[in-house]
């Protein structure tokens, strides 16, 4: 079988590596892929948001299954379009993707179905903002309603900052939406819970904790993620039961009552406070960099998992996992998440992947025969083992050997766990 994987980041390289292990796949095509996927699959450099061109390409290469990595094509309806044209595709449809595509949509579901979440108000303009801001104590969380590539959330310590950040959103800083969400600030510990879902059932697909802030000590602006580890120790069996009962099941029920359904990966972003879970956000795909620490621990064939979901047979599936822990640290371009330079040469010729220490490509490409940077988050250095402290030491040692002078990374990934040992 020929399959296509949509996307070009670390998540997609990680998915590609795992899918390569399946004996039932003949060829993998990555659209557009990156330098890492080019050694495992055929990269096709086309715009995946041009659905008609994409369809033509899929037919030409006789692709039987499409797996969608990033959120933007899902929110724009790639699944609906491909299904209409008789192409099998793994991911949620346009309606279900509103769980990520509109924070207002997600919050209104929470309100109707009593899903625990932070208190919120939706503002369409400055006049509404002035009226509603007084209902919150400082700090206030300001969120862009639509997609913002992980950069649409700001914790504001003053009302002036709330007005400043909100005005940028009203003016269209994020093209996806001009609405603003005001949220109460929840103090606790963040964690992520993953699922694979079909029309009738779901299976748990691992837990992780990531680090959104750009600098050590959780300082600086938000990013797409500077590193992660799996599993998340804070999510024990008792907490998992609460997450499923209070958050996951009511959400899927809400979609069913709207005559809709969910299929695909579902990422539940949580705040844990006093051993109770609160929903921060949904992502309608695997997280990045969380995918890079969950998939290496999966022993079950990933294609089998996807096929069970497509056939609505997840009730019959039992997943197998390694007992090892896994961590990734992201090597970023200097300047990220602000302005940064691309096309900086990276020399990895001396490094060969090992079973428990390997490199996942994110923002990379091949240019004139050289491996060069092509994004803010460039490489994910991944390692597995029994001790997170030892894993982190291995990763940092490898990053220092790579010695990429145009990059930087956080040295404190996993501090919550490692500090306590």
Per-residue model confidence as pLDDT tens digits over 87-98:
999 999 999 999
- How crowded is residue 299: how many other Cβ atoms within 10 Å of its Cβ? 8
What is the model's pLDDT at position 320? 97
- In angstroms, rounded to a whole number, what is the distance separating the alpha carbons of residues 285 and 91? 7
Domain boundaries along the sequence of the chain: 2-93, 119-184, 189-316, 325-419
Q: Which residues pair with 324 in a beta bridge?
A: none
Cα–Cα distance list, 316 to 132, 193, 309, 312, 319 (Å) = 48, 21, 10, 9, 10
How far apart are the C-alpha atoms of 100 and 285, rounded to whole Å?
9
pTM: 0.95
| pLDDT for 178 beyond 90 | no
Region 110-123 average pLDDT: 96
pLDDT confidence of 246, banded at 50, 70, 90? Answer: very high
CATH of 325-419, one of 3.50.50.60, 3.40.50.2300, 3.90.600.10, 3.90.420.10: 3.90.600.10
Planar angle of CA 325, 276, 281, nearest 5 degrees: 75
Q: What is the pLDDT of residue 421?
A: 45
Output the DSSP codes for 316-337.
G----B-S-EEEEEEEEETTTT
E strand or H helix that includes residue 419: helix 415-419
CATH superfamily assigned to domain 119-184: ATP-grasp fold, A domain (3.30.1490.20)
pLDDT for residue 175 is more than 90: no
Q: If you ran DSSP here, which 8-state letter would residue 354 be given?
A: B
Residue 2 reports pLDDT greater than 50: yes
CATH code of 2-93, in short, is 3.40.50.20
Evaluate whether 166 touches 126 at the Cβ level (below 8 Å): yes
Task: Indicate whether 174 pLDDT > 90.
Answer: no
**CB neighbour list of residue 371: distance below 8 Å, 6 or more residues apart:** 35, 345, 346, 347, 348, 364, 365
Return the pLDDT at 420: 54
DSSP alpha helix (H) spans, 134-181? 159-170
What pLDDT band is residue 173 in, cutting at 50, 70 and 90? confident
In tens, the pLDDT along 224-241 reads 999 999 999 999 999 999
Mean pLDDT, to the nearest integer, of 367-391? Answer: 97
How confident is the model over 349-363, as a mean pLDDT?
A: 95
Q: Are strands 2-7 and 27-32 parallel, antiparallel or unpaired?
A: parallel
Q: Which H or E run includes 237?
A: helix 237-243
Nearest-angstrom CA–CA distance, 324 and 387: 9
Percent of the chain, pLDDT > 90?
93
- The residue behind tokens 């499923």 is 244
Model confidence at 70, pLDDT cuts 50, 70, 90, reads very high
Q: Which of 269, 236, 251, 279 is nearest to 118 (CA)?
A: 279
Q: What residues have CB less than 8 Å from 73, skipping those under 6 apart? A: 6, 48, 49
Query: Given this model, what pLDDT does residue 51 score?
Result: 98
Cβ partners under 8 Å of residue 295, min gap 6: 14, 15, 17, 18, 302
Task: Indicate whether 133 pLDDT > 60.
Answer: yes
User: What's the mean pLDDT in 23-27?
Assistant: 95
Q: What number is the average pLDDT over the span 10-30?
A: 97
Over the stretch 310-346, which tens digit does the pLDDT of each residue have? 999 999 999 999 999 999 999 999 999 999 999 999 9
Exposed e or buried b per residue across 76-114, where buried means at least 16 C-beta atoms within 10 angstroms of its C-beta: bebbbbbeeeebbbbbbbbbbbbbbbbbbebbebbeeee
Q: Which residues of 45-57 are buried (b: 16+ CB within 10 A; e: fewer)?
A: eeebeebeebbeb
Q: How confident is the model at residue 222 (pLDDT cuts 50, 70, 90)?
A: confident
Nearest-CA neighbor of 141 among 107, 125, 165?
165
pLDDT above 50 (res 353): yes
Report H helices in 22-115.
51-60, 71-75, 78-84, 98-101, 103-112
For domain 189-316, give the CATH number.
3.30.470.20
């Amino acid at each position: 079988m020929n399959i296509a994987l949509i996307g070009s980041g670390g998540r997609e390289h990680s998915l590609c590596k795992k899918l390569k292990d399946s004996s039932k796949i003949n060829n993998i095509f990555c659209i557009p892929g990156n330098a890492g996927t080019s050694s495992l699959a055929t990269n096709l450099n086309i715009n995946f948001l041009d659905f008609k061109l994409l369809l033509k390409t899929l037919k030409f290469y006789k692709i039987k299954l499409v797996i969608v990595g990033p959120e933007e094509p899902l929110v724009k309806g790639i699944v609906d379009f491909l299904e209409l044209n008789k192409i099998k595709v793994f991911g949620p449809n346009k309606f279900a993707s509103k769980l990520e595509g509109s924070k207002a949509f997600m919050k209104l579901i929470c309100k109707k179905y009593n899903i625990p979440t932070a208190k919120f108000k939706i503002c369409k303009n400055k006049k509404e903002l002035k009226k509603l801001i007084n209902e919150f104590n400082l700090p206030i969380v300001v969120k862009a309603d639509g997609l913002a590539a992980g950069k649409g959330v700001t914790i504001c310590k003053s009302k002036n900052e709330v007005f400043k950040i909100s005005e940028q959103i009203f003016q269209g800083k994020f093209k996806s939406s001009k609405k603003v969400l005001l949220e109460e600030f929840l103090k606790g510990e963040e964690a992520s819970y993953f699922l694979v879902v079909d029309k009738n059932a779901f299976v748990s697909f691992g837990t992780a904790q990531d680090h959104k802030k750009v600098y050590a000590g959780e300082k600086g602006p938000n990013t797409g993620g500077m590193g992660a580890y799996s599993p998340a120790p804070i999510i024990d069996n008792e907490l998992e039961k609460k997450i499923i009962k209070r958050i996951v099941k009511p959400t899927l029920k809400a979609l069913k009552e709207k005559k809709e359904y969910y299929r695909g990966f579902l990422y539940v972003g949580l705040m844990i406070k006093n051993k109770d879970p609160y929903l921060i956000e949904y992502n309608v795909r695997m997280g990045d960099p969380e995918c890079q620490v969950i998939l290496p621990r999966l022993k079950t064939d990933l294609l089998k998992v996807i096929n069970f979901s497509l056939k609505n047979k997840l009730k019959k599936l039992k997943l197998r996992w390694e007992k090892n822990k896994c961590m990734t640290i992201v090597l970023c371009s200097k300047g990220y998440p602000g302005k940064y330079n691309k096309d900086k040469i990276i020399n990895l010729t001396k490094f060969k992947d090992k079973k428990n220490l390997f490199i996942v490509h994110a923002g990379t490409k091949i240019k004139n025969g050289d491996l060069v940077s092509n994004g803010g988050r460039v490489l994910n250095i991944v390692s597995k083992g029994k001790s997170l402290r030892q894993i982190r030491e291995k990763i940092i040692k490898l990053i220092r050997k790579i010695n990429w002078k145009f990059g930087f990374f956080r040295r404190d990934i996993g501090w919550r766990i490692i500090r306590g040992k």
